[in-house]
Chains A and B, each alone.
Chain A
Amino acid sequence: MLDFIARRLIAIVPVLGVVAVFVFLMLRLTPGDPAAVIAGDNATSDQIAMIREKLGLTLPIWQQFGIWMGDILQGNFGESYFFKKTVAELIAQRIEPTLALAVCTLVVALSAAIPLGVIAAYKQGSILDRFVMGLSVLGFSVPSFVIGYCLIYVFAIELGWLPVQGYIRIGVDFWGFLERMVLPSTTLGVIYIALVARITRASVLEVLNEDYIRTARAKGLSNRVVLMRHALRNAAVPILTVIGIGIALLMGGAVVTESVFGLPGLGRLTVEAVLSRDFPTIQTVILLFSVVYVVVNLLIDISYTLFDPRIRY
């Protein structure tokens, strides 16, 4: 197992290398000039040229890349062109809302999707099954910002139960934090619920047709025990895989959800950085997202062994 983990961790290095080269080149080769953005509308060409030189953007691309990589290897992720703060500081400021959103979304999504998927499989062909699958199709089809606006209209504007937007840090006001997490995590959770509920239903259905389930039932075990202990546990591996893959959905969705609900997280930082061509920030945030994606999927791979003892690394 340790050998497997070590190998997977080492494999992160070339993955990050490829991501770094790709992101760096993509940013330099697409149109946009941070110096022109910084200088503002009334700036002259000379002022823009001066800023470009100060930012080191007049150096050859290979040299800029070399400087950036050298800095990263020393743990220096650079300074934002706009905020005049180190990118590490910016990320530290913005990571809490995104982490909170991700965790709350996972809690909301998994606590809804897995029971719904299991019940749909158990009641295959029933109205309940069709209803759950119908909801799932809806969850896939409706863009998350539309869901967000609908939730805001109903629960914030009409009913006045929840705030429209904003974020309160968990350490400042716990209930305020929870109030502000309900709508964004439900919005982001919808697509996740749709995905996980469908996979759960398919996996449990497959397992329910296995001989050992028939045996369990023949032994006189209750439906609850058969479903939870025998069926769900054996169906867990594909569900976990989808949860892992879904992390990318979560990160992509956070960009939209954070904008709609005014959450000052990494998703919004990414959008702001892209719109203002803040190269050091974009590069580092994308590298961070890559690391998170790879590590989460490693954890998912490790967790397989908890559910299926036949899996060994």
Chain B
Amino acid sequence: MIDVRKSVAALAVAVSVGGLMGAIAAPAGAQTIKAVMHSDVKILDPIWTTAYIQRNFGYMVWDTLFAMDEKFDVKPQMVDKYDVSADKLTWSFTLRDGLVWSDGKPVTSDDCIASIKRWAARDSMGQKMLGSVAGFEKVDDKTFKMKMKEPYGLVLQSLGKPSSNVPFMMPKQTAETDPNTQIKVEDVIGSGPFLFIAKEWKPGEKVVFTKNPAYKPRAEPASGLAGGKVVKVDRVEWIAMPDSQTQIAALQNGEIDMIEQPSTDLLPLLAKDKNVKLVEFNPLGNQYVMRFNQIQKPFDNAKIRHAVMVAFGQEDFLKATIGDSKYYKVCKAVFICGTPLASEEGMADVLNQNAAKAKELLKEAGYDGTPIVLLQSTDLQVLTNLAPVAKSQLEAAGFKVDMQSSDWQSVVARRVKKDAPDKGGWNLMLTSWVAADILNPVMAGFFNASCDKAMFGWPCDEQIEKMRDGYAKESDPAKQKQIAIDLQKYWVDHPTHVILGQWYQPAVLRTSLDGMMVAPAPVFWNMTKK
């Protein structure tokens, strides 16, 4: 027989204890921003993976030596002062006073040297830089030197790289983790503006950050990812909520404050709601691209790749995927419209959807009518409609196209296969880059043409590599720009991919939130909540 009185008493105790626990978990009156990010945080190591959610996580808890501001200038962040020797072979960096890790230990030169080495082992821009580095030298706990084998023009751009992989500084013992092994939860010790609260991290539910009381912001006003990272709220929670409709309902109901990437279909609905606002925090946006597999016929032939560029027009792709012209831009500048390297030189005769000319080029190039395997991903709304438009424009130019549909993860798995297209390989795939990842020839992964070492598609072009090296070693911005333009002109005839236009993804915030930074990644310093 169940004793009802005992059960009720037990329940009452449980509820009281529960209430107490709730009170401990969320301090009364704390200013908390609840945000739904584009993905749940599963991995905590932003060096080990290039996924953007880990980059965003990194900006919360770690800091960088340099950072890019709103005008694309690289500014010191953890670094107080730096200089380069007259022969450009020795870079010297001195850390700011008062930088400490979340375990209370000071940030030292040893930490930074180990962090740069680990990052450079994973990141393509880091690898390029490290190729020119002769060695590091610790001067004292706050100063270290990087000695170069030869002058290298992208030192600051590399250390201030804004997007994946970002060179975050970590404690030496964490940074000495094998670059191919993830760091552990207990190694998430940062010197950034927020603290990661590991005990409240529930994968699939939420990630919790609190203001780092020991963080010492720079005195300059915040600008882009640079300047003073002043945290104006007590706590930030990233809530995992996969369903886009539910996200909107929760925002309208005041249960969350922000959605990083609302579904583009729902933007008109949100624009009408006076309690929320759309914020274009990343004005550079994203770039759609189509990648060639250059180790398979027919795209091993540069003329045929060029014909595709002639056959394509960007507007159809953008209309089919984004729809509202407020959120897209036809742009022929390969290094992104509105940036220092933006140029449309050499692009006049391509991307005009000229099917007749493309047909002629195909004939000259000797395309034999072999069907082309075009991969379509069907589960990511921002990508799904690209492939049907590509198929239509390719067919208009005389290509035979076999469009094969699957979920995005299957595309991701298939695109790294080097097999023949009819044996599980591929010819063409479509994707999108965050513009901040492709601002120059070294940073832009699809320009890496180093054969087997290149990204999937494996372009092999000595001339492109020579120009990328030239860009990396040049330190005069005007000369760098000329190299980028020359590369663009060469690339039009020897394309590694085709650019299909830029698109923009506003975040949606309740009107009670303010101060969101204009930056390539969503960051939470400077934000206030009424």
Footprint of B on A, CB under 8 Å?
Answer: 31-33, 36-48, 50-51, 54, 82-85, 90, 93-94, 149, 152-153, 156-157, 160, 163-174, 176, 259-262, 264, 268-269, 271-272, 275-277
Contact = CB atoms under 8 A, between A and B. Distances in A.
Contacts of A172: 18-19, 21-22, 25
A166 B243 CA distance: 12
B253 A157 contact: yes
The 3 A-B pairs at the shortest CB distance, nearest first, are namely: A33-B413, A40-B50, A264-B205
- Which of B122, B406, B413 is packed against the most chain A CB atoms within 10 Å? B413
B241 A171 contact: no
A38 B205 CA distance: 20
12 contacts: A31-B414, A32-B413, A43-B455, A44-B455, A45-B456, A90-B203, A165-B250, A173-B22, A262-B241, A264-B240, A268-B204, A275-B407
A171 B18 contact: yes
B416 interface: yes
B75 to A, nearest CB: 24
B462 interface: no
B416 A84 contact: no
B17 interface: yes
B413 A165 contact: no
B530 interface: no
B249 interface: yes
A133 B95 CA distance: 74
Interface in B219-239: 239
Contacts of A276: 42, 409
Contacts, number: 160
Given A42-B445, A169-B18, A32 B409 contact: yes
Interface string B399-421: 00000001101101111101000
B42 A83 contact: yes
Contacts of B22: 168, 172-173, 176
Contact of B409 (A37, A50, A264): A37
B255 A163 contact: yes
Contact of A153 (B249, B407, B413, B455): B249
Given A37-B412, A262-B239, A264-B240, A156 B249 contact: yes
A93 B253 contact: no
B182 interface: yes
A50 B180 contact: yes
Nearest to B251: A164
A164 B253 CA distance: 7
Interface string B203-214: 111000000000
Contacts of A54: 180-181
A41 B453 contact: no
A54 B182 CA distance: 11
B253 A160 contact: yes
Interface size, B (range) = 35 or more
B49 A39 contact: yes
Given A164-B255, A165-B241, A36 B124 contact: no
B452 A45 contact: yes
Contacts of B7: none
Given A42-B455, A152-B249, A163-B253, A83 B203 contact: yes
Contacts of A94: 204
Nearest to A84: B182
A275 B380 CA distance: 12
Interface string B145-187: 0000000000000000000110000000000000011101100
B249 A166 contact: no
B51 interface: yes
Given A41-B50, A82-B43, A157 B249 contact: yes
A43 B50 CA distance: 7
Contacts of B15: 173-174
Nearest to A54: B180
Given A38-B43, A40-B50, A156-B253, 7 more contacts: A32-B413, A48-B416, A170-B14, A264-B202, A275-B379, A275-B409, A276-B42
A94 to B, nearest CB: 6
Interface in B4-53: 11, 14-15, 17-19, 21-22, 25, 40, 42-43, 49-51
B110 interface: no
B431 A41 contact: yes
B246 A167 contact: no
A38 B45 CA distance: 11
B423 to A, nearest CB: 13
- Which of B22, B437, B452 is packed against the most chain A CB atoms within 10 Å? B22
A84 B43 contact: yes
B242 interface: yes
Contacts of A39: 49-50
B467 interface: no
B184 A84 contact: yes
A82 B134 CA distance: 36
Nearest to B253: A164
B185 to A, nearest CB: 8
A196 to B, nearest CB: 26
Contacts of B42: 82-83, 272, 276
B19 A272 contact: no
Nearest to B11: A174
A164 B204 contact: no
A213 B249 CA distance: 52
A165 B246 contact: yes
A93 B409 contact: no
Contact of B49 (A40, A160, A169, A269): A40
Contacts of B455: 42-45
Contacts of A31: 406, 410, 413-414
